[in-house]
Amino acid sequence: MTEIDPKQWDRLNELLESVRRRLRALSVAVILMALVLALTVAAVFGQLVNYFAGDPLLIGSVSIGAALLGFFVGWIARRTA
């Protein structure tokens, strides 16, 4: 069995750390894009509900949407902690 040079181990550790940083940045970007998409959809839905049904349905749908979004964000935060 051949032995690996310590310099190669250092290089491998540097590469792994670089991949971790990029993956972390990509994860943050994807989560932010999903949050922006959810907020945009909620805003459009809220405008449609307000236009067709009035304030009570708007308040109810926004409350349900906020509860679902809060649950989703909390679920992701619990998994990453």
pLDDT of residue 16: 92
Q: Residue 4 has what DSSP assignment? A: P
Cα separation, 2 vs 5, in Å, equals 10
Q: Does the pTM of the predicted model rise above 0.85? A: no
Roughly what angle, to the nearest 10 degrees, separates helices 6-53 and 55-80?
A: 170
pLDDT in tens, 28-70: 888 888 888 888 887 777 777 666 666 676 677 778 888 888 8
Cα separation, 26 vs 65, in Å, equals 26
The residue ranges of every structural domain in the chain are 54-81
pLDDT of residue 49: 67
46 with 58: CB under 8 angstroms?
A: yes
pLDDT of residue 52: 66
45 contact partners, CB below 8 Å, separation of at least 6? 61, 65
